[in-house]
A = this chain, B = another copy of it.
Amino acid sequence: MPPILYNLKELNPFLKKVKPSKILIVTSDILENKLKWAIQEISHTNVVVLPDGENAKEWVQIEKILKQFTKIGLDRKSIVIALGGGTVGDVVGFASAIYLRGVRYIQVPTTLLAQVDSAYGGKTGINFNGYKNQVGVFNNPLAIIVDIRFLNSLSNDQLTDGLGEIIKAGLIKDSSILSLLRKEGSHVFQKERILALLVKKSIAVKQFYIRKDPKEIYLRQILNVGHTVGHAIELKYKLSHGKAVLYGLLKELAVGESLGITSHTVKVNFLVILNKLNIKINNKYRTDLESLYHDKKIFHDSITMPIIEKEGKTKVVTIKLKDLRKLL
């Protein structure tokens, strides 16, 4: 498991020890301006800029970034730094994995979502032919830098986006996260100490499952709570990942209840937390099961998905797709 450094200032001493031949920062169009302070703080030899948002996660963008790697003359002793949200991390992780059969990279997640979720576990990938993360590899970074300062400049939407995964971490494993959210409500965003604590707790949950099952053979699937339905609506309605997961959690809790697995209080408490955090979930989406057919967890006519039993406890079940269709 790659080390996590909780301050950007630790990056330069870390790089000094690794002695890379070149250090390339890859970031996004908007972030290059917004995060000037961070780019200045990191020793580097080159900067490459990706288009903003999901547009970066396209096949043609990977070709472009690989051309830039070649032009800059990256070699096997170079290091690439992914400075940005999950998209930047996904693209850099994938491009680094396939350039010269692998150059090393470091994740510097700058959104709450990336800090608590996407930076861990080595999953990298791009969208392909309209399917999310259809192409990619497992490629762990050399290190992950989690600096709470990045969160200061995020919008409310971006913070909500991260909360989806934080709440999920509470639901599947560490219910103290849920207690903290119920107690603090929307004050969590004003209290840096509380936010830092939530981030660390959520990372610990994610790392627990990755350590047990690095290649997602079985147990790591528990991290997909809320994601079966979430992925089915995220691309369709162009939702943010966190919003889609929150909607997915709500729907999947209802499915779990219908199956007699999930206790009713879980959904009640989940709605209390959303209310306290001023998060509204739109109920109008139609889960398109057809789009699930390209889900990596579907085999024949069944899908394997995790279902919450009670706060902090989850199990993986296999459901016939036709039964899931009825329940949704």
Contact = CB atoms under 8 A, between A and B. Distances in A.
A128 interface: yes
Contact of A59 (B63, B138, B298, B299): B63
Interface in A123-141: 123, 125, 128-129, 131, 133-138
A67 interface: yes
A317 interface: no
B131 A70 contact: yes
Interface string A44-77: 0000000000000001000100110010010111
B101 A137 contact: yes
Contacts of A100: 134-135, 296
Size bin of chain A's contact surface: 20 to 34
Contacts of A63: 59
Interface of A: 21, 59, 63, 66-67, 70, 73, 75-77, 94, 97-102, 123, 125, 128-129, 131, 133-138, 293-294, 296, 298-300
Given A70-B128, A99-B134, 6 more contacts: A94-B98, A98-B136, A98-B137, A101-B123, A101-B125, A101-B133
